[in-house]
Amino acid sequence: RRSQCKNNLKQIALATHNFHDTFLRFPFGTSDYEVTADLSDPGDLPAATWITGHIEIMPYLEQDAVARRWDKEERYNSTNDTDGDGFTNAMLIQMIVPTFLCPTMTMPSAPLAGNRGPCSYIFSAGTKSTSEFHYGDPEPAFDGAITPRILNPDKSDSPSYQKKTKMRDITDGTTNTFLMGETDFAPAGVPSTTYGSVWA
What dihedral angle (degrees, nearest 10) is formed by the CA atoms of 56, 62, 65, 67?
-10
Mean pLDDT of 126-134: 60
pLDDT attached to residue 91: 94
pLDDT attached to residue 12: 94
Half-sphere CA count of 137, side-chain side, radius 13 A = 13
CB atoms within 10 A of CB 186: 15
- Give the rounded percent of residues in the chain with a pLDDT score beyond 70: 74
What pTM was computed for the model? 0.80
The DSSP output letter for 49 is: S
Mean pLDDT of 22-47: 63
Average pLDDT, the chain: 78
Mean pLDDT of 6-14: 92
At 74-119, the pLDDT tens digits run 888 889 998 899 999 999 999 999 999 999 888 888 888 878 899 9
Give the length of the chain.
200
CA distances to 61, 168, 194 from 75, rounded to whole Å, are 23, 32, 20
At 156-188, the pLDDT tens digits run 555 545 567 777 777 776 666 778 888 888 877
